[in-house]
Structures are given as C-alpha cells and as structure tokens.
Structure 1
C-alpha cells in the first residue's frame, strides 16, 4: 500500500487508519490512538507492543470487550488473492501433489492452485478491531456454579471420578482439574447461519467479509500462506501442534490454524481458513491438506454445499468485528 500520510490521534474516523500510518506513528501518538479507540467503543487497552511474524514487524494493539480479546487491524487498499502463475513449489510439494493428482485425476498443480484460491484484486478495507479467537455462536459459556452445571455434577456422582471432561446428552460439557473442581463449562446448540449472524448483531458485532478475512489472516503477505510458500511435507496441519500455522499472525490473531475449523463470512457461500477437514480426513495428500490454510483458499463446492439445505455443521465459527468510528 502506498498511503504514507500522517494520522493523528483524534482524527475522525479511525476506520480510515491505514497499515502504514499506524506503524509510522510515534509511540506516544500510538498509545493515545489506542486509548481513544478504547474510549470511543467502551473497551480496555490490554496490550500495545512491537511484534513480528514471518520476518515482518508490526505494532500490535490489543483490546478487551467483556472478556473477548480484539486486535487492531489497520485498513487501506491492499492487494488480495493469489496469482498461482508465480507459485514455485518445493520438490516435496510437487511430489505430494503428483500423487494426489494421479489418484484423483486433478489438473496441473498451478491450475489447481489457481482454481482453489481467490483471484488477485485490490480491495478497500477499513481499519477495524478483529477478534483474536474465532467465536462459536453455537456455544454458551456457563459459570462453574451455574445450576445446570451443579445439577450435572450431582447427578453424575461417582462417574466423574478421575475424568477431565464430561459431556451430557443435552450438549452440556464440563471440564475438571485434577482435584475435581469445575474449570470450564459450556452448552452447545445447533444454530443456522442466519441465527449465528443475528446473534453477533445482538451484541453489537458482525462477522468479516471474505475480503476482510483475507486481509485479517495474511496481513498483506503476497505468499500462498501467511508465513511463506512452503509447508511441512510429512503430515497434515492437524498433526502439528507447533509451527508457523499455530502461531498468532502479524496482527496478533489466532487464525487459519486448523482446517477442521473453517470460518463463516458475510457471504454464506464463502468459508475461509479450512475445508471442514475434508482433505485431511479423506487422506487426499499432504499438500492438498495444507493448501486449505492458504490465505486466499476457496473451496467453492464446499461453501455452496454448506449454504444449501443439505449442508450441515455442528458449529459455525465466525470472526467478530468491531467497526471503528
């Protein structure tokens, strides 16, 4: 992005704050900006620090809203999508794809990557606050002393001895520490896409658009993945509990880490950050499994199926956004 104009605390609106302007600010001005944003939106500033990811640096700002953590994602006119013609795969990626292509009758590698990623385009993205963790509107967090939790513990009795987690048939899940104390409880329920979006709106939030999700995930990285072009060659993302995909990204977001945890966007036919685990569960090949974490990944068929009457998901993960003013 080319914007280099100065941006001063108190400027209106903060939605116009660009990546370059935010990182060019003197430290004092950045602190004032963060606190002004917090004051305007009823938040608390919980962190302001220099951070880095995949060789790039950034000034990260974190906020708290009733226990939900948000990070500042500056805006601008970034180039999104991926140009598969410039992809130069590593030998192990070529070998992995060749095995998959032979088994499933797939086109040449570049053609396949092009079909499974969004097209290159320039987008207008506002500065916004984006949830650090994905949010599941199907999940209701309960306090350890909630009557439903106490009733479950009392009714289960000796069956809870030594267990770390107990699930009831009604969707109530309770976790215990080694002493048997309840440390986490939640109840899950099935909701539709429309119910999930309405639930976000009811607490003053919305989910990302597909463009905003790409920008939030890749932070402007032009590579296939937000960390580069390569991926591990002896396992699927789910097999690795550490690695660049498990690290928080440049903005400080835990995003695009597990293909089983795809996220809904404002377009109900477009999901990002995974494929529901289809490539991994189906043993499609390591490269295809990792490709689902590409920043611009698009599985059109999967998205359209989820949006159809036949589509089913036991959770609808979203990436909540607080719009800035």
Structure 2
C-alpha cells in the first residue's frame, strides 16, 4: 500500500496523515515547516491534506495518482443554456461541429502517472517584481515620479505603464509598486528554483491539480456555471449588458470595479484596471487548496516534455476582446485542458507581462507502506 497514492491517502485517518506529514518535513528544503492538516472541498471533490509554510508562502501536499488527462468528447453533455450559448458563439466563427472545435482547443487524451508533490498555493509573477518607493525612484524612469504622485491623489485601484511599472492600491490604501523584470530568461528561473530545492509544474501536473482527474470540460462538469462571479463580467446576470457594451465600444467593463480595461490585444498604451477584491469563485482555493488566477488575461507557466514553455489557464484575453461573452471568453481560464494555440505568436517580453508560475517539490522517493 502506497500512502502517497490519492486513493489510499483519502482512506487514511487524520492521525495517520499527521504521521506521514511530520515524517515528510525531514526531506524538505531548510526553513519549511508543517502547519497541520486542513480540509478543502470544491466541485464535488474533497481532500484533507497537510499545509506547509516557507517564508510566508503556503504549500499543500497533493497525493499522486494514475489519471486520464486531455479532452476529446463530452462525458455528461451540456445543459440547454450552455449548448445554446456555445452553438451561437461558434456559429459566428463559421464552426459547424462544436465538439470537434472544442477538441481542437484542448490537450490530447492521454494516460499519465502523477507523482505526489508539495504545491505552492499561490503564484508569483514572472514579469513583475515588487520594489520599494526608493528602489523605484532609483530606476530614474522619467514618467514614474509624476505617475506616483497622480496615482496617490486619485481614486484608482491600479495603473500600469505598459511593460514599465505598475501601481496597485491595497484594501488599506497602501500603494504597491511593481517593476517590469525585463531580461529574465526561463532557463534562469528554472536553475534558480532548482538550486533552492524546487521544480516548476509540467502541463500534466497542472491539469491534474486543476481538475483532480475529472473527465469533464470544467472541474465541476460539462456545463458552464452561470452563477459564477467573473472578474471581467462581475455577476453573470449582468453579463448580457457587459457583453453588449464590449461589442459596441471595444471596452471590457468590470461591473464590480467600475473601471475600464483596455482590451486592445497589443496593449501598447497605459491601462487602468480594477484590482479584484471580490472573491471571484475561480480564484478561490480548490479541492487541493490550490488557488488559480481564474483570469483569461493571465497565463500560468508550465513546462512541456522537452522543457518548452506551455502556458495554461488563459489566452491573453483574446476571446473576451472579441466579444464572445462569458462562456467562450472564460473557456481558457475555466476549462481544465485548454491550450492556447496562438501563444507561439507572442514574443517573450509580451508573454512575461501576463505569465505567473508556482513552485513544487516532487516527492518521488518518499516511503511506502
């Protein structure tokens, strides 16, 4: 019996889980501590698992499993509203076979063994680093001083000068300053994390952590959940008006933040965006305790079999910008198996702007009973 296998782990009592987690600490990077067991439940899946902390960052134990990943056909089928929305949206692209169209956007079906691992609960921006006000002034950027003063006096939640700096106001009114981390290469990130005892997710691992081995299009089923609160649509009963305004004006309206977002995919000008503080469901911890961006404008970094970059969880906002509405607009962020087939057209600097990553520790040599 392998206690690290998900099926076995789920059957262990809390006392046995505690024992395994405390033994695991001895094999982890220096400074990582065990905080205790916590139970997470979402989308019909439930996991009681260990929570670990290192330098203020939370990690959770994710048991391994033999799973089928990828998507080629419906398991349960769409409900009437999802089917109607999907067929109407697909018809605008001249798509006749909706199932075949969706399959072409998804990773292929495959059998995969996922090793047990510790997974960082939140992601870190690859392209943006937080700096102090003094460090920002030291950059001697000609636009920064005036922008900072104007931002502090404004009621805005966020301001960005494209690929230069970003200003964010938190709930308490404090201003966070982010500077674009130009010049960084993915090989440097992998090497630095490896030296610290961490790895980065593969696409297989990401799909497992996000969907938990589900065979449906979304982690909760094959039909879209129209009760969701979504960052760029707010509550979906407002989605029809938001979609119409997006089509008419070219501006995506976040009904909760009351701010405008530039939806030009070139994103060459400054942007004013609303910072999410509204508990959008796609951003809440899932059944493993892992949080995802839930925002199609952003990507999460994963690596392919040969170490190539394979961004997941978004499409740069392309479908939203085309006025497709919440179903297709959020397909890249909500679907377990979506692949952005157009991401190769972006240069590295453009990708870095919206790319996030999380660290993991693969537990390939831990004990078995």
- TM-score bracket, normalised by the shorter chain, equals 0.7 to 0.9
Residue from 288, 294, 298 that aligns with 2:328: 288
Q: 1:47 and 1:171, CA in 2 relative to 1: closer, same or farther beyond 3 A?
A: farther
Indicate yes or no: 2:240 matched with 1:246: no
Q: 1:113 and 1:74, CA in 2 relative to 1: closer, same or farther beyond 3 A?
A: same
Q: How does 1:208-247 map to 2 (within 5 A)?
A: 208-233=201-226, 238-240=232-234, 241-242=278-279, 244-247=281-284
Task: Give TM-score scaled by structure 1 length.
Answer: 0.80
How far apart, CA to CA, are the structure 2 residues paired with 1:78 and 1:105? 34
Q: Is the 8 A contact 1:269 1:304 kept in 2?
A: no
Q: Which runs of 5+ in 2 are unaligned?
A: 235-277
Indicate yes or no: 2:11 matched with 1:37: no
SS in 1 for 2:114: coil
Residue from 167, 172, 181 that aligns with 1:189: 181
How far apart, CA to CA, are the structure 1 residues paired with 2:210 and 2:51? 16
The aligned residue for residue 11 of structure 1 is none
How far apart, CA to CA, are the structure 1 residues paired with 2:69 and 2:163? 43
Q: CA deviation at 1:237?
A: 6.0
Residue from 37, 40, 47 that aligns with 1:58: 47
How far apart, CA to CA, are the structure 2 residues paired with 1:38 and 1:113? 43
How far apart, CA to CA, are the structure 2 residues paired with 1:218 and 1:22? 18
Q: CA deviation at 1:74?
A: 0.8
Indicate yes or no: 2:357 matched with 1:318: yes
The CA RMSD over aligned residues, in Å, is 3.2
Q: 1:217 and 1:158, CA in 2 relative to 1: closer, same or farther beyond 3 A?
A: closer
Cα deviation 1:218-268 (Å, max 9, x = unaligned) = 112222111222224599663245564232111001125111121121123
Q: Is the 8 A contact 1:264 1:271 kept in 2?
A: yes
Residue from 79, 83, 95 that aligns with 2:84: 95
Indicate yes or no: 2:339 matched with 1:298: yes
Q: 1:178 and 1:297, CA in 2 relative to 1: closer, same or farther beyond 3 A?
A: closer
Q: How does 1:43-192 map to 2 (within 5 A)?
A: 43-142=32-131, 147-148=134-135, 159=150, 161-163=152-154, 171-173=164-166, 175=168, 182=174, 184-190=176-182, 191-192=184-185
SS in 1 for 2:40: strand
Q: Is the 8 A contact 2:198 2:360 kept in 1?
A: yes
Q: Which runs of 5+ in 1 are unaligned?
A: 8-16
How far apart, CA to CA, are the structure 2 residues paired with 1:116 and 1:177? 36
SS in 1 for 2:342: helix
Q: Is the 8 A contact 1:237 1:259 kept in 2?
A: no
How far apart, CA to CA, are the structure 2 residues paired with 1:56 and 1:109? 28
Q: 1:192 and 1:302, CA in 2 relative to 1: closer, same or farther beyond 3 A?
A: farther
213-222 or 308-317, which moves further after superposition?
308-317
The alignment of Structure 1 onto Structure 2 pairs a total of residues equal to: 306
Q: 1:173 and 1:110, CA in 2 relative to 1: closer, same or farther beyond 3 A?
A: closer
How far apart, CA to CA, are the structure 2 residues paired with 1:178 and 1:278? 29
Q: Is the 8 A contact 1:270 1:304 kept in 2?
A: no
Cα deviation 1:173-225 (Å, max 9, x = unaligned) = 45556887x46443331334334434433533221111111011111222211
Q: Is the 8 A contact 1:227 1:244 kept in 2?
A: no
SS in 1 for 2:125: coil
Q: Is the 8 A contact 2:46 2:288 kept in 1?
A: no
Q: CA deviation at 1:320?
A: 1.7
SS in 2 for 1:253: coil
SS in 2 for 1:286: helix
